[in-house]
Structure 1
Amino acid sequence: MQVSITNTATRYGWAMIVLHWLIGVIFIGQFVLGFVMMRIESQRMSFELIQLHKSFGFLLLGL
Structure 2
Amino acid sequence: MLAALKGKLLVNMSTVSPTQNQELAALLAVHGAEFVEAPRFRAKQGCRSRQIIGAVGGQRKYR
Q: Which bin holds the TM-score, normalised by the shorter protein? A: 0.3 to 0.5
Higher relative contact order (CA 8 A, sep 6+): 2
Structure 2 length-normalised TM: 0.34
Structure number with the higher helix fraction is 1
Structure number with the higher strand fraction is 2
